[in-house]
Structure 1
Amino acid sequence: MNHKQLKYFLALADTLHFSRASERCFVSPPTLSRQIKQLEEEVGAPLFLRDNRTVELTQQGKAFVHYAQATLASWRQFKSECVDDDKPLTGELSLFCSVTATYSFIYDLFSKFRHLYPQVELNLITGDPAHSIAEVASGKEDVAVAVKPKHLPNGIEYLPIGRSRLVFIGPTMDCPLKSIIDEYSHSEMPWQRLSFIMPEQGVLKDRIDNFCKKHNFVPKVYAHVSGHEAMVALASLGFGIACVPEIVISQSPFKNQVQLLQLRSDEIEIGLVTKNKRLYDPVVKALWDTAKGLFTL
């Protein structure tokens, strides 16, 4: 087996979808399938159960995830120890963040980093920011953009890169929800009458739960949604109000279809996270130092 096959395996184990995994790995689905089959033949056991509709990890596959992650991490660490200081920095780095973060933070960071270290391969993976710290802690990704939690897990390094207010938003289109909002626009909102678009998990969900407890009501939840951008979309359609970072609104294609409600909530802090030991990798350390010089709070 080779390291490329291990990367293919981890991509498929994460997505459980051949088309999405092949897009992430920049190969065709048949090529990915062939490489996985070769890997299974070498391992001597099936790593996935698959049919025309679903892909699932076998028990052996679940165990192999840890082996593949540890092997690739050890390989990256070995490569970093072999770096020649007299030669340009080379290697690769993966960063996990939300779609909004790619516009508001990561574009500038990657632009600066590419200028300083053009031979480093950068891989960007987007997803729900509630998963950011877990993606790093599990070893799936090297660095992530995350909302700072109340307590950071052991072994996780954090670097602040920005702040954003939390704001409640509702629709601008005519609908029953907007009628209620307009009726109470100059007074306390009847929160118990409003439907909520809630995040599935993470710091933002904790903040909203605390807000509901403070105002002594149980929210009427229309939907639990993964990702801030999707929350804005549903709020713009009048399915419920949502509480999201203001920076998400400024970057959203639906910003003209939502209104900020009278109430303003507190701020969140946004930063980069990585494992402490990953900072011994020259590539990760270079990105970290670039971010330090670019973002000053």
Structure 2
Amino acid sequence: MDYKDLQVFLSLCSCLHLGKASVQLHMSPSTLSRRLARMEEEAGAQLLTRDTTPLQLTAAGERFRQHAEQTLLSWQELRTALSTEVSDLSGRLTLYCSVTASYSFLADLLSRFRERYPLVDLRIHTGDAAESIPRALSGEADVVIAARPEQLPQELTFKAIAASPLLFIAPRAPGAVSALTRSDIDWSAVPMVLSETGLARTRVNRWFESRGITPHIYAQVTGNEAIVSMVALGVGAGVVPELVLRNSPMAGRVRVLNVQPELEPFSIGLCAPTQRLHEPLLQALWKTAVI
């Protein structure tokens, strides 16, 4: 069980409703339910009763809630204490990531890195997520924040820092896409807004192919952020990583569809050339990117 699980559980405790918590966490109710079941299995006890509205904490759940709060507080105190260690390491690092990754991970990572290594000059470049791995391979960036590709080039090493489910999303406005109003969705009739290339497109293509469905592609875009905006306008359904939806200003205008089976989630992390990981600057950043 990791710190993210504890944060998810505390969100559930604050909402006491799977649906509301899933919206707050930008994950499907089924994903949240399975995550709770996994936590209960690891804890060896039922933590929440699901047959009441609102949900209720069991006695074990209340003890687990206190444990989660204390653990996360201790973790934050440790991070604060470690950040006071200042190094005289100097030099320059170039980091590349998508705009979404800069919102989701960069601020926290750089805050800790700058506190420990104030003399290091960090050059940050942002752009299309699909460019991350190529930039690491070409040497245009010393390190990138990226989703782990299905086949990681052997020249690169990847360090996971977070997971992001891939979500099917639809307009929140009722009846905006008529094909989505049926209880049994005919996916061949749903206009889809998808990324033009990249890992998300590969996985959604595989999802359709495994079901013998030829998708109705309404639009293909570069970058995931535009997918949320187009879906919010009511032109169709889309597929985006959870972290993109979480940081989108249009998140309140779309809803997450409960689609089974779910798409394989992204593993997000740092990626850099393996042969350079011995370099002090890269080692410093690698150690700062705690899971």
- Percent sequence identity over aligned pairs: 38
Partner of 1:118: 118
Distance 2:141 2:184 in 1: 44
Question: Helix, strand or coil for the counterpart of 1:134?
Answer: helix
Distance 1:124 1:106 in 2: 10
Offset at 1:217? 1.1
Partner of 2:201: 205
Q: How does 1:75-224 map to 2 (within 5 A)?
A: 88-173=88-173, 176-177=176-177, 179-181=178-180, 183-184=181-182, 187-224=183-220
Alignment length, in residue pairs? Answer: 203
Distance 1:254 1:215 in 2: 30
- Verify the 8 A CA contact 1:163 1:270 in the aligned structure 2: yes
Offset at 1:180? 2.7
User: What's the TM-score, normalizing by structure 1?
Assistant: 0.65
Partner of 2:278: 280
2:288 maps to which of 268, 290, 297: 290
Distance 2:264 2:282 in 1: 32
Moved over 4 A (4+): none
Question: Helix, strand or coil for the counterpart of 1:216?
Answer: coil
Distance 2:165 2:111 in 1: 26
Structure with the greater alpha carbon radius of gyration: 1
Distance 2:136 2:209 in 1: 31
Letter in 2 for 1:282: P
Offset at 1:198? 1.4
Partner of 2:269: 271
Partner of 2:223: 227
- Verify the 8 A CA contact 1:173 1:237 in the aligned structure 2: no
Q: Write out per-residue CA displacement over residues 54-107 of structure 1, whole angstroms, 9 at most, x where no aligned residue.
A: xxxxxxxxxxxxxxxxxxxxxxxxxxxxxxxxx811111111111121122111
- Verify the 8 A CA contact 2:98 2:129 in the aligned structure 1: yes
- Verify the 8 A CA contact 1:90 1:119 in the aligned structure 2: yes
Offset at 1:191? 0.6
- Verify the 8 A CA contact 2:145 2:269 in the aligned structure 1: yes
2:241 equivalent to 1:242 = no
Distance 1:96 1:145 in 2: 7
Q: How does 1:21-100 map to 2 (within 5 A)?
A: 88-100=88-100
2:255 equivalent to 1:259 = yes
Distance 1:236 1:137 in 2: 35
- Verify the 8 A CA contact 2:204 2:263 in the aligned structure 1: no
Letter in 2 for 1:233: S
Question: Helix, strand or coil for the counterpart of 1:189?
Answer: coil
User: What's the TM-score, normalizing by structure 2?
Assistant: 0.66
- Verify the 8 A CA contact 2:203 2:263 in the aligned structure 1: no
Distance 1:143 1:240 in 2: 36
Offset at 1:208? 0.5
Partner of 2:19: none
Offset at 1:231? 1.2
Distance 1:199 1:234 in 2: 12
Letter in 2 for 1:180: A
Give the 3 Å change call, closer, same or farther, for CA 190–105 of structure 1 in structure 2.
Answer: same
Distance 2:175 2:122 in 1: 44
The alignment's C-alpha RMSD in Å is 1.5
Gaps of 5+ in 1: 1-86
